[in-house]
Structure formats: structure tokens, C-alpha cells
Chains A and B, each alone.
Chain A
Amino acid sequence: MALTTQALDAITAVVGPRWVRLAPAQLDVYASDGLPTRFSRPGAVVLPGSREELIGVVRVLAHHEIPFVPRGAGTGLSGGGVGDADEIVLVCTRLNRILAIDAPNRRAVVEPGVVNVRLSEAARPYGLHYAPDPSSQSACTIGGNVAENAGGPHCLKYGTTTSHVLELEVVLPDGRPVTLGSACGEPWGPDLVGLFVGSEGMFGIATRITVRLLPLPRAVRTLLADFSSIRAAGEAVSAIIAAGFVPAALEMMDRNCIRVVEASIYAAGYPVHAAAVLIVEVDGPDEDAVAAESAGIEQLVRARGAGSVRVAVDEAERARLWQGRKKAFGALGRLNADLLVQDAVVPRSALPDVLERIGTIAAEHGLEVSNVFHAGDGNLHPNLTFDRRQPGDLARVERASEAIMRVCIDAGGTITGEHGVGSDKLRYMSLVFDADTLGAMRAVRRVFDPLERANPGKVVPVHQCSEWRGQWRARRGAAA
């Protein structure tokens, strides 16, 4: 249904006029996220200031049957937080309170708008931290992390967001609040928390999130190893994992990326002549244990052709190595008009071949590609730089992206490891899933949202789904 004055008045009554944005210039702020290829001005932007206001707005939207797009900090990379002119963008960043830190039970309860890194900062005095650490962690929100099942370098050892979320209070698209899971971690029924995490805003909005906190590691060591070829670096990754090491993080950067970072304010002293570097972090119960593990890894990467291996001598050097890695996207963005941060996953043993193929694909399309990614998980981020004002650039980027996705799928991988499908990857879903599996996804979505108003048009390519009887029944049930 259309965005009527009546509906807008009702929303304004809930949140106050200051928090309803309607002017085109204001709306343009929310017309894209971290994906540079989609720009779409929503009908309105609403920023509720409390859980009650958020639920109130969702109820108004339900009453008027208005579609809406939940959004956190807008750092997403798949166009998931972007809405069309007939949709309202619901921004959760004002719900930014850490409600509880329960140190004895290693739990925290937060509102969805809490910035990821703030939670770890708040937990630090208790010797705890929140493990998932996306590169955007200084800006992205926990609510957005839940919607996307966000990852990050340290997910190699500790798992992605889904392994850390225990209980969710959500408001369903019809305005009903429901609590899923439990603080102890038992799902209390089928695992609806596991189902909700990664649902990309299409099942409702999490209003209260209980997460697991982990003890800070007692000892940490970070190594930087350089290689004269990407293939050798990729093979070293497989060798580390297959040898039974479980690094806390295992990241790779290629030459293009190293040079851009070294030319920026985030210069970390990466060797600019290397074809690739690996950043390997190990953590453990004491210095002796991490020294032994890092010595084992050092020996292994040297045997696999590493030129030099540098161990960060202190916390400052370690922080610098990580800053260069985490700000690589920013450094790339600074030098180029547009940057598409791609995301795909392949089995680790396929990394060397796939990286080579990606280089070829970029060259064939006349594009520059830089790789900076979670090598230990086989989670690639080939970054394509371009200028959308140049005729044909965007089309070439889209064609190269599709070719990269096909290579990853053919290697036994998938189209996204942590950025989500959003609107960007809708067209690749049928390359991975058959009609019945896509139909199952749509049927599940309709259980939570029978009228398909929450973040419409994302994730599931509706015309490629087989039809499920149950979903029609659910729809009638909701209308009745």
C-alpha cells in the first residue's frame, strides 16, 4: 500500500517529527549502503528512539500494510539496507544501549544499534570480549551483524555471529514481539535464533540481543609472512589448516592491496615488493603456548616458500598490522572513485587456482582487482575498482562479478560468506540453490512475514521458487 499522509502522521505521532525524514537530500543519505552499484531513494526514513517506539512504528506499518527496510549503520555490502520509493527505511541506530553485561555467565544484552566495537570495549574491564569482528566494526551495529550473520578475521577460530547469539527479542513484521531462544543458549524449541540470524531483515527486527562473551586470550602473537606468488601464499594457507593449527585469524593481502595500504595513513610496514602477505594470529593460555604454535606455523610457512616472517614485537606493532588489514577497504576506496567489495567462499584447497582465475577474469574485463580476505576460511574478497561515471565501467564490473561467482561455485564454494545476498546477489541464488530449496526459504520467510513486507525483494528470487502449499495457507491465515 502507498505511503499515505495518514500513515506518516501516525508514524510521526510515535517518534516525533524530528525523526521522520522526508526531504530528498535527507533521504539520499540512506539511498545506498556499502554497495556502490545500487542507489535508490526510499519513501521516508524513520529513526525510532526506543524499543517501544520501534514496535509502535512497525505496528503502524503493519496496519497500513507498508513495506519497510530495517537498517543499522548502513555499512552492509550487498544492498540489503536500501529501499524503494514505496518503502520506509527503519533505522535502528538510536537504540544503542548496552543493557547488561553479566560477567559470571559471560553474557551481554544489547539493543540493535550498539556499535560492534563498543560492546568489546565495555566487556574488556571484565576480561571478556565479543568475538565477531567485521572490518567495519568501528561503525557497524550488532543488529546489522545479526541480520547479516556477520563474520570477521577472528571468526576462523571463534565462529561467525550465529555462534554468539543466544536469545533474541524480535518484533515480527505484524508488530508482535516474540522472544526466541534463551540466555543459556538452549533454543527452547527448534532453533529459531539460528534461523533468524542471517535473515537479512526479512523476518522482523531484533529489538534486544543476548550474546555470548568470550574471555580475552591470555597471550596473543601476530606474524606477517610474505610470499613471491599468490599461489604459494594460498598453498601455505591450506597447509596451515591441514596441519591442525587453529590460528585465531589467517588473512591474506595481495600486492595491489599492500601497496595501497602502504601509501595511506594506515601504513603498517607490509613489504611492498611481496606478491602476497599472510597475517597469522595465534592466541592461547600463555606465552609459551603461543610461542610454540607460532614457531610451528613459522616453520611451515617457510617450508612453503615464505620470504621473510616478521613477528609483531609489541601490542603497538600488532595493532598496526591489524589496522592496515582492517582499513584496507578504506584505503582502496580513497584512491578510487568506486570500490566493489566482493565476497565469496571456496574450499581452502581451491584458493590458489581460484585466485589465479580471478586475476585472469579481472584482466579480461580490463579491471583492477585487489584481494584482501579471510584466507583461513576460504572467504574471498576480490575488490574491483572502477568509476561509475565512465560509460561501460559498471557493466564491466557486473560481468566480472558474475564470472567470479561462477568460478567460486564451480570450485565447490558459494556466493557469499559474510556480506549477505541483499539485492546484489539475488541473481546468483539460482546458481547455488534449486527451486525446492529456494521455495523452502520463501516458505520460511512467509511464516515470519506472510505479506512479505519486511525488506521486500531481497535474498530469495521469488520467480525461481517452487510453490509451497504451506505458504498460501499461512497467507490466508494472516489475512483472516
Chain B
Amino acid sequence: MAGTSLTVLRRVRAMVGPDAAVDTDTAGTPRVAPRTEEACALILQTAASEGWRVSLAGAQTWVTPEAGADLVLSTTGLSRVVSVAPGDLVATVEAGVRWDDLRRELADAGAWVAVDPPGVGRTAGSVVATGTAGPLRSGLGGVREQILGLTLITGEGRVVRAGGRVVKNVAGFDLTKLASGSFGAFGVITTIHLRLRAVPRADRTFVLSADRDQAVQAALAVLDAGLLPAALEVLSPSAARRPSWTLAVRLVGNAEAVEALGRAVAGAVTGPLEELSVEPAREFWTGLAAGCTAGPVTLRVGVLAAALDDALDLLAHHLDDTWVAASPGAGALRWNGTAVVDRLRLFRHAAAQRELPVTLERGPADVRGRMGIFGAYREGVGLLVGNLRQSFDPAGILAVPLSAAE
């Protein structure tokens, strides 16, 4: 039985004392930001025994908390970069660390994490929990490829330490994968061990202006030539913030390799590639990341390279193709815009018939609740996910709408 806001606030304050910041969010929901893992575990244990519905949150620049939650559990109090080992290329960070702050701190140590997440001001925990990779997913892999281990506090308040701090690890089942990209359905991520890379010596960006078909064909030509750029994006005009559709290519590595790749990419596409100098290139990519929160809804659609054209048609038919960023080398595209739930549902239904999975990465709480983050599962998968949730959150307190409301 859920308590009133005041009761919850009082209980939480009394329980965690100075180990957490306690306040009320703009919607009037009690919010707690524990500063230690122990406090976080205690809060979830209490919520489980009291039946408080808990919505997990980071910096709240990506999504707002779930509607009807009794308590918002924020990771912003867990904001330390615990360790950076540039020699081993491993860092340990708490979930509330801002991605941009982390990026700066790593750069000072000559290292970086190969993830350029969409959005602005996101926390590391949010990026990992939602598995939201950016353009670099094409050549350097998704978020899951950069995570060596993490600490997950389950809906029952158990502390699970998955994986480790080494780059290869098959000791036990891979719970890190379960926690990454599951939107907090199994618990709150509090600490993350990240795989680092040395800052690349060369980092160059090329763009090609074209119509949609030409941009898609150019991307496919790059892939057909056996090339693997760090980023290979087909962007709509508003995503690229340029007058036409754009093919954007980012190459990172040593200077000679980047030079050679640049020549090979130029040879594979028809039409002139324009190189962006350092500052415009930086603005181009940060603008792309920021742009996908302009509209209230962001979708991720899984699509094979050869089916990209059809997927874009499907989007244009059911929604629009105003803001689209496609990574055909990574088998995914991202859409941002405005649409009512019925249209989103129709699109997801049509996409599923073509084996195109649609993930609701971002959206207002009511849209998330009615659509579900993943919608319907394939046969048999829903039962597995349901039983996993029951194991990690037996009281069902974690407010994470993975599937659509009935």
C-alpha cells in the first residue's frame, strides 16, 4: 500500500539522514538522491516492503519520471569518478556523473569512451540504462560494448556486482548485459566500469549533400566497399541542420589510417565529400546529439542496411521523415518528432511486420505508459522478461513500462 507523499518524505528522511538529499520534484513527488550505495539499497528495501512505486531518474534531461510514482530515486547524488586507469584503459564512475564532465575528465588523462550519446547533460547511468548510443555505434559498437561491469541495486535492494574491471571476462553469467539497455527494469545502476580508448590521434569529419536516395546509396556504397568508418550517418536536413539530406562520415585512428580511409570513402561515393574543420565538426556532432530531444518523442528502429530505404518510406508514411539519423552500418536509425500514441502504435505495428524492432527511447510519461518502451515482445520472450522482473523486483515497485499497458 502506497503512503501519502508526506509520509514517504518523512520516512525517507528519517531512514537515510545525511546520506541522501531529499526534496520534492516539480510534480510534487518525493525525490531522494542517495550519496552511497548502502543508502540506495536501504531505500529500495524499504520501498519494496512498503509497496512504494519508484521511478528511477538521472539528470532528468532525457525523460521525466513515471506518472503516479510514490518516490523518485535519483542517481545525481552518486556523482564521483571513482578511478581512471589510463594505462589499463579502464575507468570506474558512479551513475550520476554527467557524460560531458566524464568526457572532459577522461580527455585530461588522454582517454575517451567511444560513446556519443544523444541528448544533452545526460548522466552515465542514463546512457547505460537506456543503451542509447550515438553515431559512433557504427564503427566502435554500442553502449554494451564499452561496459566491463556495473553495480546494480535490485528492486528488492540487493546489491549485485556484475562483470569486473578487465576487458575480457566470462566468469559467470553476463548480468552486465541484462542491466544495460533495460531502462532500469531490473534495478538501479549505481557504479559502472567503462572500457576506455586512447584519444585518437586523428579525428576527421566529411559530409556529402544529396537527396535522400543519394545519401542512402552513398552509405550503402561505403559499406559495400568493405569500409567501416567510426560513424556513417544518413541524416535528414533538420537532423544535419543543413539544407539537404546529408551523408556524414567520421573517421578516427592514426593519421595514416584516417587518411587512407578518407581516400577509400571518397572513392566509394559519387559526389564531392566536404571536410569539416575541427570546430564545425564538433558543432556538427554535438548539434546532432542535441537535436534528437527537440521533439517530445524519440524512437530507435532496428533496420538492416539493405532495408533502410523501405524503413524511411515507412516512417514517412506513418509519421514523418523530418528528423531522422540513420546508422546503416549499425543496423539502426533514430527518429525524433511529435506524434499521437495511435500513430506511433500503428507505425510500430507496421514495423514489427517487417521485423523492424521499435524502441521508445524517449517520450512523455503517458506515451511511455500506453506504448511501452519495447511494445510487444516476440513469442515466448515476454514470459522470460516477466519472470526476470519478478526475480529482480518481486514486489513490482520499479515503475518501468517495458511493455504496453493493456
The answer to whether residues A195 and B359 also contact, given A184-B302, A189-B381 and a CB cut-off of 8 A, is no
Q: Which residues of B contact A441 (CB under 8 A)?
A: 172-173, 175
A178 interface residue, CB < 8 Å from B? yes
Residues 164-179 of B at the A interface (beta carbon under 8 Å) = 164-178
B325 interface residue, CB < 8 Å from A? no
Q: Which residues of B contact A198 (CB under 8 A)?
A: 170, 173-174
**A184, B359: Cα distance in complex, Å:** 13
Q: Which of B59-67, B74-82, B98-106, B387-395 contacts A (4 or more CB under 8 A)?
A: B387-395
Task: Establish whether residues A188 and B377, one from each chain, have CB atoms under 8 Å apart when the complex forms.
Answer: yes
B379 interface residue, CB < 8 Å from A? yes
**A469, B392: Cα distance in complex, Å:** 9
**A244, B175: Cα distance in complex, Å:** 29
Q: Which residues of B contact A151 (CB under 8 A)?
A: 168
Q: Nearest Cβ distance between residue A448 and chain B, in whole angstroms?
A: 7
Q: Which of B49-57, B151-159, B270-278, B289-297 contacts A (4 or more CB under 8 A)?
A: B151-159
Task: Establish whether residues B257 and A447, one from each chain, have CB atoms under 8 Å apart when the complex forms.
Answer: no
Number of A-B contacts (CB under 8 A): 293
Task: Establish whether residues B170 and A416, one from each chain, have CB atoms under 8 Å apart when the complex forms.
Answer: yes
Which B residue's beta carbon lies closest to that of A149?
A: B170
Chain B contact residues (Cβ within 8 angstroms of A): what range? 35 or more
User: Pick the contact of B302 from A186, A195, A477 — CB < 8 Å?
Assistant: A186
Residues 156-210 of A at the B interface (beta carbon under 8 Å) = 159-160, 162-163, 166, 172, 176-180, 182-195, 197-199, 202
Which B residue's beta carbon lies closest to that of A433?
A: B172
Q: Nearest Cβ distance between residue B204 and chain A, in whole angstroms?
A: 13
Q: Which residues of A contact B317 (CB under 8 A)?
A: none
**A425, B182: Cα distance in complex, Å:** 30
**A195, B387: Cα distance in complex, Å:** 14
**A178, B387: Cα distance in complex, Å:** 15
Task: Establish whether residues B302 and A185, one from each chain, have CB atoms under 8 Å apart when the complex forms.
Answer: yes
Residues 137-196 of B at the A interface (beta carbon under 8 Å) = 141-142, 144-145, 154, 156, 158-162, 164-178, 180-182, 185-186
Which 7 pairs across A and B sit closest by C-beta, in order of nearness? Answer: A194-B177, A186-B302, A244-B198, A470-B391, A215-B226, A184-B331, A292-B256
26 A-B pairs, CB-CB below 8 angstroms?
A107-B304, A163-B141, A178-B381, A182-B355, A190-B385, A191-B131, A191-B177, A194-B176, A194-B178, A238-B87, A242-B89, A285-B257, A289-B260, A292-B255, A378-B88, A378-B167, A412-B165, A416-B171, A417-B169, A417-B170, A419-B170, A440-B392, A446-B391, A447-B387, A447-B388, A459-B173
Residues of A within 8 A of B (CB): 102, 104-107, 127-128, 148-149, 151, 155, 159-160, 162-163, 166, 172, 176-180, 182-195, 197-199, 202, 214-216, 218, 238, 241-246, 284-286, 288-289, 291-293, 296, 345-349, 374, 377-379, 412-421, 425, 429, 432-434, 436-441, 443-448, 459-460, 466, 468-471, 473-474, 477
